[in-house]
């Protein structure tokens, strides 16, 4: 009896020892699954909510009108369109990108070949630090330094403008572009560099003729990631761009982005016509950003087939 | 027989309520109403209200530490949203509630103070008097140079407030007569930010609650009348608004005590000291 008991117990213990990692595995699997499901469901819920709240506009056919018209709440009859904000968002994001892209590519070229080894590490650390500066700090510094500078220097307008916001936003997306491109450049086969060296190429030639062309996909992906970051930013636009709901026609124009518009109108009376434009603004913003994300995915798939084992950006 | 009993019960209740309120009204200090009270009052909304709310909260919580009062901003729109959702006990607005807001959520308004809204410019701007007509033309974007209204030869930089601002609603209705505000006007999101904009930009014109105006900005005369709280109280300065506290349905006894405190003589003293004009209760 006793012996059988003992064996019985030892078998149970053994079984437990074997099954322990299995249950742990199952737990980890479950937790990871739950995390994945939460993330996926959140995105789905957001899309669902945006569609649901734009339903009245979509069904009545007012959606197209809302998206294309002007924002003129003081006119008779008033107009509550978000056309200027869509153009504002796009022009701000594109301008910021045009400013940030050469900087980012330049920085990366500097880090990978042109910079002395002693310098490249501190520069990389500085770029990493740039990502940890909160957006509101960029905005605050811009409002206190850049905006008065533009106002005095150009003698036209209040300084709160497309240009001020684009310059600030460019600072915000330079690290995004630089770090993404940097990761790719680091992963380029070192043998390629050696080959370049042995061919007698200068570091500048290596960067210009070999490394950058080999990073075309990564460069495109960095571009699009930077663009969607610029599109989605709210605080810089709200603090620096001026928020006038007009179609931008000059760099010094005060403009309003979709994100800033949502922030500005969110607190209005829920039954006001102003408030109704929110759903359309949200849906448009989501659509613009989603289209760009899809583009990034597409590029990632192409670059996997590339010749340099480029990191797939997903 | 049963009906009689009901009547009897109701009479008792009325008596009890009467007894409960009489001592409160007759008590020596206004803070007496909070004796023995415990609980929390959360307040949010209009930014013009905050100085008054904070001072009242300080007085009450110092005397009766068991009462907790929190005060947050957010603007008139946020005040309505939060009180309607039951997130706060009192939602402050710098404008009367719209009919839909009041009806859909069953909100009750308690006006307690008057605040004037004045046009503000940079302190070094030589312009010191503007007519309502001139202001209307400036905000409509028809007058674009300060020279046209007696100032220097410099462009006018327009500043306005966001769509949810109670200050903007008052200015637009009472001074601009629901006229145009030019599309190119810069939009700022609080009375404080407006003051900063006007203080920094030598060519600025904007507007703010009179309670917010200090030496960093200049408030020109409107048709010869100085935009001061005295002139607003006397009825000489016409661009005024009421400040409201709003509750969802009848307030709880504790919240009621707070509202009575604000509406009473102690509240009036606080309101005056913060640069607003108290509304006499009743």
ipTM: 0.76
More confidently predicted of A270 and B35:
B35
**Do the strands B90-93 and B240-248 form a parallel or antiparallel pair, or are they unpaired?**
antiparallel
What residue of B is the nearest CA neighbor of A157?
A: B157
Determine whether the interchain pair A269/B78 forms a contact, defined as Cβ–Cβ distance below 8 Å. Answer: no
Provide the token pair at A296.
């990034």
Q: What is the CATH number of domain B116-240?
A: 3.40.190.10
Determine whether the interchain pair B78/A267 forms a contact, defined as Cβ–Cβ distance below 8 Å. Answer: yes
Residues of A whose CB is below 8 A from B185: 244, 254
Tokens 């930009």 label which residue? Answer: B201
Provide the token pair at A241.
């761009």
Provide the token pair at A120.
């490249």
- State residue B206 phi and psi, 5-degree precision: -145, -155
Determine whether the interchain pair A271/B159 forms a contact, defined as Cβ–Cβ distance below 8 Å. Answer: no
What distance lies between CA B243 and its chain's CA centroid?
3
Residues 207-246 of B with CB under 8 A from A: none
Provide the token pair at A104.
């980012």
DSSP calls for A236-279: HHHHHSB---S---STTS-B--HHHHHHHHTTS-TTSHHHHHHH
Q: Which of A246, A94, A128 is nearest to B181 (CA)?
A: A246
- Select the residue from B122, B155, B164 to test the A interface by mutation, using most A Cβ atoms within 10 A: B164
Residues of B whose CB is below 8 A from A272: 98, 163
- Asked whether this chain's domains B39-114+242-278 and B116-240 adopt the same fold, the reply is yes
Within 10 A of B98 (CB to CB), how many other CB atoms are there? 14
pLDDT at site B7: 55
pLDDT at site A146: 94
Residues of A whose CB is below 8 A from B179: 74
Nearest CB to B80: which of A74, A244, A269? A269
Determine whether the interchain pair A151/B155 forms a contact, defined as Cβ–Cβ distance below 8 Å. Answer: no
Determine whether the interchain pair B201/A264 forms a contact, defined as Cβ–Cβ distance below 8 Å. Answer: no
pLDDT at site A9: 53
DSSP assignment letter at B175: I
Determine whether the interchain pair B204/A156 forms a contact, defined as Cβ–Cβ distance below 8 Å. Answer: no
Residues of chain A with pLDDT under 50: 1-4, 6-7, 305-314
Give me chain B's average pLDDT, please. Answer: 86
CA distances (Å), origin A31, targets A25, A38, B58: 10, 10, 47
Question: What phi-psi label fits residue B107: left (phi over 0), alpha (psi between -120 and 50 degrees) or beta?
Answer: beta
Determine whether the interchain pair A256/B187 forms a contact, defined as Cβ–Cβ distance below 8 Å. Answer: yes
Task: State pLDDT tens for residues A176-224.
Answer: 999 999 999 988 888 888 899 899 998 888 888 888 888 888 888 898 8
pLDDT at site A78: 86
Residue B27 has pLDDT above 60, yes or no: no
pLDDT at site A221: 86
pLDDT at site A313: 41
pLDDT at site B132: 94
Name the residue ranges covered by the structural domains of chain B: 39-114+242-278, 116-240
Residues of A whose CB is below 8 A from B164: 264-269
CB pairs under 8 A between A and B: 82
pLDDT at site B24: 44
- Measured between its terminal Cα atoms, the distance across chain B in Å is 40
Nearest CB to A264: which of B179, B181, B187? B187
What residue of B is the nearest CA neighbor of A158?
A: B157
Say if CB B129 and CB B221 are below 8 A apart.
yes
Task: State pLDDT tens for residues B157-185.
Answer: 999 998 888 889 889 999 999 888 998 99
CA distances (Å), origin A18, targets A5, A15, A23, A24, A29: 20, 5, 9, 11, 17
Q: Give the Cα separation of B70 and B82 in Å (integer).
A: 14
Determine whether the interchain pair A245/B189 forms a contact, defined as Cβ–Cβ distance below 8 Å. Answer: no
How many residues in total does chain A contain? 314
Rounded percentage of chain B residues whose pLDDT exceeds 70 = 89
Residues of A whose CB is below 8 A from B78: 267
Determine whether the interchain pair B179/A242 forms a contact, defined as Cβ–Cβ distance below 8 Å. Answer: no
pLDDT at site A118: 85
Q: Give the Cα separation of A156 and B144 in Å (integer).
A: 12
Question: What phi-psi label fits residue B153: left (phi over 0), alpha (psi between -120 and 50 degrees) or beta?
Answer: beta
Say if CB B248 and CB B85 are below 8 A apart.
no
Residues of B whose CB is below 8 A from A157: 155, 157
Tokens 């950058």 label which residue? Answer: A212
pLDDT at site A259: 94
Q: Give the Cα separation of B206 and B106 in Å (integer).
A: 35
Nearest CB to A264: which of B78, B104, B189? B189
Provide the token pair at A23.
């249950």
- Select the residue from A69, A74, A145 to test the B interface by mutation, using most B Cβ atoms within 10 A: A74
Residues of A whose CB is below 8 A from B186: 158, 160, 242-244, 254
Provide the token pair at A58.
């979509």
- CATH class belonging to B39-114+242-278: alpha beta
Range name among B69-78, B147-156, B202-211 with the lowest pLDDT average = B69-78
Q: Is B204 on the interface with A (CB under 8 A)?
A: yes
Residue B194 has pLDDT above 70, yes or no: yes
CA distances (Å), origin A262, targets A215, A275, B183: 37, 9, 17
What residue of B is the nearest CA neighbor of A159?
A: B201
Strand partners, B248: B107
What distance lies between CA A140 and its chain's CA centroid?
21
Report helix, strand or coil for A180: helix
Angle between helices A273-304 and A216-232 (to 10 degrees): 170
Nearest CB to B186: which of A242, A266, A269? A242
Q: Is B44 on the interface with A (CB under 8 A)?
A: no
Domains of chain A are 2-42 (no CATH), 83-302 (1.10.3720.10)
Q: Give the Cα separation of B116 and B212 in Å (integer).
A: 10
Q: Give the Cα separation of B51 and B58 in Å (integer).
A: 11
Half-sphere exposure of residue B148: CA atoms within 13 angstroms, side-chain side: 13
Q: Give the Cα separation of B109 and B90 in Å (integer).
A: 10
Angle formed at CA A75 by CA A65 and CA A54, multiple of 5 degrees: 30
């Amino acid at each position: 009896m006793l012996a059988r008991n003992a064996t019985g117990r030892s078998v149970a213990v053994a079984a437990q020892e074997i099954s322990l990692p299995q249950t742990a595995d199952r737990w980890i699997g479950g937790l990871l699954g739950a995390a994945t499901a939460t993330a996926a469901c959140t995105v789905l819920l957001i899309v669902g909510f945006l569609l649901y709240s734009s339903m009245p506009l979509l069904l009545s056919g007012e959606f197209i009108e809302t998206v294309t018209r002007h924002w003129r709440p003081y006119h008779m009859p008033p107009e509550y369109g978000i056309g200027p904000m869509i153009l504002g968002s796009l022009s701000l994001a594109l301008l910021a990108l045009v400013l940030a892209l050469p900087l980012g590519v330049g920085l990366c070229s500097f880090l990978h070949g042109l910079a002395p080894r002693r310098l490249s590490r501190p520069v990389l650390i500085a770029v990493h630090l740039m990502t940890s500066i909160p957006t509101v700090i960029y905005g605050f510094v811009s409002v206190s330094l850049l905006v008065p500078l533009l106002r005095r220097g150009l003698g036209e307008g209040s300084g709160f403008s497309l240009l001020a916001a684009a310059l600030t936003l460019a600072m915000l997306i330079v690290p995004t572009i630089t770090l993404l491109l940097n990761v790719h450049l680091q992963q380029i086969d070192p043998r390629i560099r050696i080959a370049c060296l042995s061919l007698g190429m200068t570091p500048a030639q290596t960067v210009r003729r070999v490394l950058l062309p080999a990073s075309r996909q990564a460069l495109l992906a960095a571009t699009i990631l930077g663009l969607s970051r610029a599109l989605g930013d709210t605080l810089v636009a709200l603090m620096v761009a001026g928020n006038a709901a007009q179609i931008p026609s000059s760099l010094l124009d005060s403009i309003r982005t979709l994100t800033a518009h949502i922030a500005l109108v969110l607190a209005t009376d829920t039954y006001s016509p102003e408030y109704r434009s929110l759903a359309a603004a949200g849906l448009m913003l989501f659509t613009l950003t989603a289209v760009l994300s899809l583009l990034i995915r597409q590029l990632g798939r192409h670059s996997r087939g590339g010749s340099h084992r480029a990191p797939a950006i997903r | 027989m049963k009906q009689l009993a009901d009547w009897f019960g109701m009479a008792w209740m009325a008596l009890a309520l009467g007894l409960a309120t009489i001592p409160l009204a007759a008590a020596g200090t206004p803070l007496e109403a909070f004796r023995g009270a415990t609980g929390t009052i959360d307040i949010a909304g209009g930014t013009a209200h905050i100085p008054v709310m904070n001072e009242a909260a300080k007085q009450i919580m110092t005397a009766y530490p068991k009462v907790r009062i929190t005060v947050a901003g957010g603007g008139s729109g946020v005040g309505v949203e939060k009180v309607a959702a039951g997130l706060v006990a009192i939602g402050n607005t710098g404008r009367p509630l719209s009919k839909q807001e009041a009806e859909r959520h069953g909100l009750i308004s308690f006006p307690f103070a008057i605040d004037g809204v004045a046009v503000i410019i940079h302190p070094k701007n030589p312009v010191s008097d503007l007519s309502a007509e001139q202001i209307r033309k400036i905000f409509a974007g028809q007058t674009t140079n300060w020279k046209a209204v007696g100032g220097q030869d410099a462009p006018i930089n327009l500043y306005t407030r966001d769509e949810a601002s109670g200050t903007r609603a008052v200015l637009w209705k009472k001074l601009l007569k629901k006229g145009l505000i030019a599309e190119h006007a810069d939009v700022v999101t609080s009375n404080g930010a407006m003051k900063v904009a006007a203080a920094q930009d030598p060519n600025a014109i904007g507007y703010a609650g009179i309670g917010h105006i200090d030496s960093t900005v200049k408030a020109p005369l409107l048709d010869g009348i100085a935009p001061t709280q005295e002139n607003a109280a006397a009825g000489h300065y016409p661009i005024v608004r009421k400040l409201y506290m709003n509750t969802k349905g009848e307030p709880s006894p504790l919240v009621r005590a707070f509202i009575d405190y604000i509406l009473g003589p102690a509240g009036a003293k606080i309101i005056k000291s913060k640069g607003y004009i108290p509304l006499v209760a009743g």
